[in-house]
Structure 1
Amino acid sequence: MKCSGCQTESKDLNYYTCSNSSCKDVYCSTCSKTPTMSTSRQKLWVCPSCCAKTKKGGDNTNTPIRGSNESSNLNVAPRNKPIAPPSQKNEENSGNELKELTGEVRRLTQLISSLKDKLDEATQSLSKCHVRLEELACSMVAADDRIRKLEIRDLELSELKSSVVLLNQQLNSQAQNHLKNEIEISGLPENTNENLNHTVLLISKKIGVELQDREIDWVTRVGPRRLPLSGENKSNFPRPVVVRLLRRSLRDQMIKAAKSRKNLNSSDFDIQGA
């Protein structure tokens, strides 16, 4: 790169090009008197020659001070052009850039503040979520305990149901066994002051079976009491009499003897009634 100020070849990386479209001269950092410059300032930088033209209002590019190849007889040494003070335009550009930077800084500050607020909100939300998760964990533990207790209760309930079914079967079998010792006597007239034990002993004697009072467990009428019908000598069919004997053999003897004597009635037992 050849500097337009010192007219020497330089390997300096910090070189600047004039922003004037009619100039486009290149200056090194020494001749431009600006070792460092931002990119935005480089785009607006004006060389010292253009600054001098602006101030003086004329073109001095043909003066001997720049030196040219055509005037080789003149023994004029090249010199550095003085750096003109910054123009009003450059000052305005610098002010605009400063305002833009200030605005950018403000916007960044506002953005950082909003991000901080959002971060605080997110932190609070995470704290609430953590508390809620702990509550849910406790609820799940309590629910697991309740489910475990309910499962144990279901097992106990199943066992109890099985026990109830077994007990019902046992009761039914026992009831069936007890029925094998019972005799039902139907059509026996029902009186207010009747003695059923005496009547049963009398019936057994009439049908030919020797039955003792100690061999009878109990005697009773079954079913609700029936009211007599209106009119003379009319009544409901009497309630049956059930006799439980202590021995099943006596029950079988009485049933067998009663089958052979089917024509018995209440008058044979000295019992009033139909």
Structure 2
Amino acid sequence: MATKSNRKCGACLKDIMDNNFITCSIESCKTSFHRDICIGPSLPEDPRNWVCQKCRCNLKKGGDNSNTPVKTSYTSGNVTLRTKNKVIVSNDKSSDAEVSLGTLISEIRLLRQDVSKLTDKVTEMFTSLNECQERLADVEIKTIRSDQRLKLLEVYHTVVQSLLMYCITAWGGASKTHMISIERAQRSVLKVMLGKPFRFPTYLLHQEAAVLTVRQLFRIITLHN
């Protein structure tokens, strides 16, 4: 029959009933474990120097580190790998930044092209507007001149033609020698009214003014009477 001891297993927390156990060699620990159940077959050759897993971790954190390699100008494999990994991450970030910068530069170039095209269109629009304003100014000038001409022609019909028509049935059939002075007076008045030069053709003058000559006026009035 197995005798009960005061020891408890540090793994399963059950009472250790026999001598089949092993104890941690660290003075501050001295925790016992079931030898076959909780520790397993992988036991050290000298159980007196056995260290439990908890103390083994503590030894790694704060134990003797005299055998730990010191980083010098020549780096070990692990340090080199970590440095490479960091460089690779940095290169990835820098490559992403370069891609973003390239995309931004391309967008800025496209924006400049669009702005240049828009500027050209606005310039063409202003040129067209200036041409339209010049045409409107010409039309306005021509309209003003036409109004002035109409007013002058109205004055002509009211004053000059009324004088020419006075008793024209009596003197309108006179010879050309007697009629030439009246015709010259009529042409002079029309040239002044229309702003024509002294040697402007007579037929064009009457055609533009839409006015009958003295002889044409005599014939029409004579036929109507």
| Pairwise TM-score range, normalised by the shorter structure | 0.3 to 0.5
Structure with larger RCO (C-alpha < 8 A, sep 6+): 1
TM-score normalised by length of structure 1: 0.33
TM-score normalised according to structure 2 size: 0.38
Greater fraction of residues in helix: 2
Larger of the two Rg values belongs to structure: 1
